[in-house]
Amino acid sequence: MEDRRALARRTKPIPCYAVEQLPPKHGGDALYESIGRDAVAQGRVRLVQEFLIPACDARSWTVTAGQLFRIVCSHGPQVADLNCWHRHNPRERFYSAKTRQLHATHLNPGDRLWSNMPYLRPLATMTYDTIRYGWDDDGAGVHDVIGSRCDPYTHCLLTHQDNTQTSATTPVESHVTCHSNLTRQCLRDGLTEMDVHDVLNVFMCTGFTLDTHQYFTKPSPVQVGDYVEFLAETDLRVAASTCPQGDVGSACGDTRETPRTYPLTVQVFDWTDAYTNYLTDAGWQPSTVNGYSQSHGLATEGPSRSTTATIP
């Protein structure tokens, strides 16, 4: 009988998904590289919205397909937890696990934020990142899709406290978490806590320990002036929380010192009149929902796309 343990140990890692088989970006990689490099710098787009996400809070904004948006480190080292939904159908939302499977544990320019099934299409594409951290000796990277978000439920499990955790110097409210921040913003937007989902951890520096393979954090390398930029591949509602852990240079729930937290700036850009057709002339078009029939091997016809996946 074949020794399956030995087989597994001697086999080299096999990437589960052939990323090169993903549908190519409309307009090609060169278009996306030019967007990140030139769109703002050469005045092809204009700033149409700019606002602050206050420290320890969340805000949302809408973006039309083809617009750009940035999250900017404007006041001090701060990470953000990002959610996004299709603007007209919040059942379609960012799917961090599939994004991680298709790209990597941490995202880089050119990587796409994929939506959940049955839609499974790009919601946005990262076009620029000023940090470009790569991988350090501990295996850490920036902009991860492996963590979920800090939340009061895990806090309650770890501390056995519901409303507050008290340190020697200051009480820290357990509901001041990214999950709670995003929940409050969802309610303001007519959504519910159930619409909060696993996040893209913007600017966060994380990895898995080499010995125990546990999720770890490091102080974010983000500096004032850094930003990450995305192209909206369809109409979006985006929300981001400024994490109460600040640069997340300590473990969640660590009460030995109060983290320093800062606001972050959001910017939305639209194409100028002279470049209104820049994307479409280059072959770009908004993303469309996945082409799978949804039959799932059933003898009868699968669910109607008009009731599950059609965008109003």
Strand, coil or helix: 83:
strand
Q: Is the pLDDT of residue 155 over 90?
A: no
User: Looking up tokens 């299709």, which residue turns up?
Assistant: 86
DSSP 110: T
User: What mean pLDDT comes out for the span 82-94?
Assistant: 98
Q: Determine the Cα–Cα distance for residues 37 and 301; give it in Å rounded to an integer.
A: 47
Q: Which runs of E-coded beta strand occur in the chain?
A: 45-53, 58-63, 68-72, 80-86, 89-93, 112-114, 122-129, 141-144, 164-166, 171-173, 200-208, 215-218, 227-232, 236-242, 264-271
Q: What percent of the chain has pLDDT over 90?
A: 82
Instruction: Write the CB contacts of 120 (distance below 8 Å, at least 6 apart in sequence).
Output: 95, 98, 114, 289, 290, 292
Overall number of domains in the chain: 1
Q: Determine the Cα–Cα distance for residues 73 and 261; give it in Å rounded to an integer.
A: 12
Q: What are phi and psi of 9, to 5 degrees?
A: -70, -30
Q: Is residue 184 part of a domain?
A: yes
User: Looking up tokens 């937890």, which residue turns up?
Assistant: 81
Range of the domain at 33: 23-271
Q: Determine the Cα–Cα distance for residues 23 and 112; give it in Å rounded to an integer.
A: 11
Q: Is residue 304 part of a domain?
A: no
Q: What is the pLDDT of residues 205-264, one digit of tens each?
A: 999 999 999 999 999 999 999 999 999 999 999 999 999 999 999 877 666 778 899 999
**Mean pLDDT score of the chain, rounded to an integer?**
91
Q: Is residue 9 part of a domain?
A: no
Q: What percent of the chain has pLDDT over 70?
A: 91
Q: Is residue 235 part of a domain?
A: yes
The predicted structure's pLDDT at residue 304 = 53
Q: Determine the Cα–Cα distance for residues 191 and 267; give it in Å rounded to an integer.
A: 23
The predicted structure's pLDDT at residue 254 = 66
* Verdict on whether the full-model pTM lies above 0.85: yes
Q: Is residue 169 part of a domain?
A: yes
The predicted structure's pLDDT at residue 173 = 54
Q: Is residue 193 part of a domain?
A: yes
- Are 245 and 150 in contact by the 8 Å Cβ rule? The answer is yes
210: its two tokens: 């080499």
Q: Is residue 115 part of a domain?
A: yes
Q: Which of 35-44, 175-184, 281-290 has the lowest mean pLDDT?
A: 175-184
Strand, coil or helix: 50:
strand
- Are 47 and 212 in contact by the 8 Å Cβ rule? The answer is no
Q: Is residue 298 part of a domain?
A: no
DSSP 181: H
